[in-house]
Structure 1
Amino acid sequence: MTNNSLFNSADKMPLPKQIARHVARQIDNDELLPGQILLSINEFSARHKVARDTVEKAYKELKSTGYIVSVRNKGYYVSGKSNARKKILLIFNKLSSYKKEVYYGFIETIGDKAAVDLQVHHYSSGLLKEIIANNLGNYHSYVLMAHFDRREAKKNYLAIIKELPQEKLLLLDKKLVELKGVKAVYQDFKQDIYDALSSANTLLAKYKAVTIVFPPDSNHPGEIINGIREYCNHNKKRFAQVDDAATVTPARGTVYIFITDEDMAVVMKEMKKKNLRQGADVGIISFNETVLKELLDITVITTDFVQMGKTAAEMVLNNTQAQVRNPFHMIQRGSL
């Protein structure tokens, strides 16, 4: 452990964590083997010219994660990576009721087999870069939701994601074709929406047009629009995309698809003014299930968020190298 590369003045991570990360990497890479004795706290402090309490904090963290053990009056020994409790970093794009379902599905399946930390990049590649810089090397696995601001250049966040060890990365909710060998549990947004609409062809037969209300500031994948457009082309229905729900004048014979609940409420209010009946004069489809939509008898298209979390956890625990398409379905109700 004489390599001074464990110290990086530009690294925002506290020095004890830098030391712990360095030692953990050596153990994971078999540079330090089970049973091997480590430098004592005093020896490490003198050799690397760092404070004794700094080394003590680093060793304490390594003990808490199972990498090393201490033997009274003898010193610190490598426990071995096989005995170390796995550490997983979940990086979500945002927090929402749906993301909570993914999280709980993941945590339930992981159980006590690993320690899980959660961070959020809020659609920002800059924030993701900071998260990675502060945590690189600290985890056995990284699970990332790669949704970013639609104005963000793809090359920017791809370059940042590639800083993570690809064999330890799992992409969640969305896969990136540029990262072909990376594990993923994903939605195929274009095909999923096309298949969901096709499953309701009988109900949709009475409508001549489909309108998607898709706010310009939404960070939902644009593939959703492409899937709806393709469905309309194949089924000879008029397709329209609207940015602002406030500009929508509900028309008979049209199905409206909503990304946000707020936009759905705006259009439903206008429908009520015009005495238009949902499921008869006008169709309504909303993304993602809630109790309120069930009570309002709203047709919903959704992925299985809990299953997404469970599948991702199983793949991490078993180190499964695969890309798995998550289940997606339509809940047909009276609004269609």
Structure 2
Amino acid sequence: MDIKFRITKYLAVSALAMLLLGACSKNNIYINYPDEENNGGSSGSGNDDNNGNPTKENALITFSASVEGRNITRAMSPMGKGLQSWLCAYTANTSNNITGAPVAQGNYVTSSPGVLTGNLGYKMYLSNAIYSFYAVSCNSTSPAPTFTNGLSEPLSNGVDYLWWHAVHQDIASSQVNIPITYQHAATQVVVAIAGGENITLNKILSATITPPKPGAIMDLSTGIITSEVSYDKAADMGINDFTVQYIMLPVKSSSPMTLTLELMVNGESFSRTYTTPLTPPNNLLSAGNSYLFRAVINENSISFANVSVKEWTEVDESGNPLYPVQD
């Protein structure tokens, strides 16, 4: 009886010990997998494939955007909501030349005024290093032009191209916000129309101007669009009250453009059409400048009081000025 009790007690104690050991083993075994091998992490190369789970050494790059209203004063306003941008990063070099593909690039949209959010959830991650950043926009809901080896595809008139860069930016923390201040890369012609002697303006029915031929190229490293020397067929201008405007590629030409206005005046039941040459000041319409021509409608002609560089005239998606020019 004594022996049987001791054997039963030994077996019970042994079983309890095995249960305790099993429990300890279960609660203390951990398996750690390296992020880059088993957790979908990035290799830290900084390219645009790193939109998944970035490694810890990568920095998240965020952007905010504003637009300069005028080259002279550097006045700025937040970029409007719903506008597309293309942003990219290159490894910095001393010459600031651009060759090959960027190490990171993505398309962004302003989710609210001034706040850029990557399309389809894109986020830019970069490993710690020194980079040069570039951004291009059409200042509209249309995507930015494509670039190859730092040069754009052929560009068009009627598009408000924007450009920005920030070279030799040291990315050394886990999250960096970079403010973008866009500059206008195209040029703008605005004509404010007033009635002359014995002329009362009633309405502008249409306005056209001959812009330069399309096909100019933008250099991404400088934002410079090559100037055209010859003109294309007439294009429709945007209209608001007695202000008309057109955004075009830069011009370098001693030849005048042609401005044509169809107007209703003096309460007449028929329209009048006026056609006049419009010569660029100093034979140049420079990138980033908005040129305001003040036109006076006479009985049989148009005269120009003056031309000046003014604040950029904001336009809607159809190219119509949001606000007429005020005296």
Give the structure with the higher percent helix.
1
| Range class of TM-score, shorter chain | under 0.3
TM-score, structure 2 as length reference: 0.28
Q: Which of these two proteins has the greater Rg computed from alpha carbons?
A: 2
Structure 1 length as normaliser, TM-score? 0.27
Higher strand share: 2
